[in-house]
Structure 1
């Protein structure tokens, strides 16, 4: 059974992502491990020589009480969406988000991570911010990040950008497995620029290798890579976009002011990032 880690702060954004996590768990026949982390403030104990531990313990207790109160709300959400049969366990951990995600991945043998983020207007800060950028580059399991406005919908089309490198092929095989479970198709996009170094022979090899899989290849000649990918997402009705973690800089570009006018609610889609080791 696949194990899916779901970090949550119990916000509306996280609760929306929780539905995606439940549906993903159902898709891959997995279980959820709910993770809530908190960082205790650092006190100068010279000013609290007697009651320092009392303060510390009371703050820990308040976190536990909050955690205990929120779990039934999540179970109610699961029941409302007829997903209450998904197995769920819980972890409350003191420390930084990244540290505890990495710790849980190792200790709980996690296969996927699902987490919420603040939406399309925040993709830049999400992918370049310290915590999430570190999560993307440091963890070894696929991460499904869900914008606040991305309401769950059945997966029909999974977008996959490629430059036909060997590491792309490894990632594509992972995505195909998910697509087959969902009854979806993978739409692969290669933006062929004027200085592209991929020859027709390589492209043909890929097409032949995956001809019996639910995969379609789209080769678009353009020097406007970011704009082309945004258009591809919109016009090919992509439900989930797959990226490799070394392409994080791409998301810094597509969210600049000159491009945001191209984005509609259709772009509020989950992003599946995959780390491929050499």
Structure 2
């Protein structure tokens, strides 16, 4: 079953990962992360390559295209070697030849295709690379990855193209310490334990109180048996503060909740989450909620 409503599944039932692949170095780099995740939790990977099939081309061209990609079950990579040898090399380097891999070639717009296949195959995770964006692109259009996050019913893990560290021992979870985040954090601890990872929970607020809120004490008590530290930082430069925190604490993964209604959760009255997807140097895990 797929993950809905901001739920991270225990590793014992997280069985399907959808991996959008466009043959770029960014997606090749992200595949190493997907392989590590699949190997750790015993999941299969479904790769998908979306293309826009031009109108007016011949049936012969279409047949040759399908033959080139060889749209078949590829559990041992054998039929996939000629087209994407780097994927086989990555799997072998990770000693993950046993990970089941299937490949889908689909005609259609990238975001719609990814979401359709995620629903059809009831995947638990979408893992994909991202190059981020800047200027007009960031403000008006956004990356494919961000648009998938905005609309996906399942969890999305975005891997920056510059990320070469496959470590996953420190997770940063952004929270405003709302009650609904407790369930997400409980689920995140299950995910973290699979990788023996520590979790930092962080709230950055423009107006900081010297006194620790009662809610923090409540959270500490509820999660007293978990490897979790709770933080509140007062700052008017929120994105910079989060980035500094990640660098200071050597975070390997940034986790945050995302509204399912097409918009990122508006932390502190504007969407810091969207900015972090574009600018984070570490993988970003988006967890949807209604």
Q: Note the residue ranges of structure 2 that are not aligned, 5 or more in a row.
A: 1-12, 71-79, 259-263
For structure 1, the 5+ residue unaligned runs are: 43-51, 261-266
Scaled by the length of structure 1, the TM-score of the pair is 0.81
- The Cα shift of 1:247 comes to 3.6
Name the counterpart of 1:62: 65
Q: Which residue of 2 aligns with 1:268?
A: 281
Cα displacement string for residues 27-83 of structure 1 (whole angstroms, at most 9, x for unaligned residues): 2221111111111124xxxxxxxxx4x525514632541465324542232113312
How much has 1:128 moved relative to structure 2? 5.2
**Structure 1 SS opposite 2:58:** helix
Query: Contact between 1:240 and 1:270, CA under 8 Å: does it hold in 2?
Result: yes
Which range is displaced more, 163-172 or 246-255? 246-255
Would the alpha carbon gap of residues 132 and 119 (structure 1) be closer, same or farther in structure 2, given more than 3 Å must change? closer
Q: 1:235 aligns with which of 245, 248, 268?
A: 248
Higher mean alpha-carbon deviation, 131-140 vs 236-245, is at 131-140
Match of 1:250 in 2: 272
Instruction: After superposition, give the CA deviation of every residue in 1:69-105 in whole Å (9 maximum; x if it has no partner).
Output: 3245422321133121211111111111122212211
Q: Measure the CA separation in 2 of the matches of 1:113 and 1:255.
A: 15
Alpha-carbon spacing, 1:25–1:209, altered in 2? closer, same or farther (3 Å): same
Report the equivalent of 1:47.
none
The structure with the larger Rg is 1
| RMSD value, Cα | 2.9
Corresponding residue of 1:75:
88
Q: Which whole-Å deviations, capped at 9, do the CAs of 1:118-171 have from their partners, x for residues lacking one?
A: 15879x739951633331121111101111110132211001111011332232
Aligned-partner Cα distance in 2 for 1:251–1:33: 27
Matched, 1:93 2:115: no
84 and 168 in structure 1: CA distance in 2 versus 1, 3 angstrom threshold: same
In 1, distance between residues paired with 2:287 and 2:187? 9
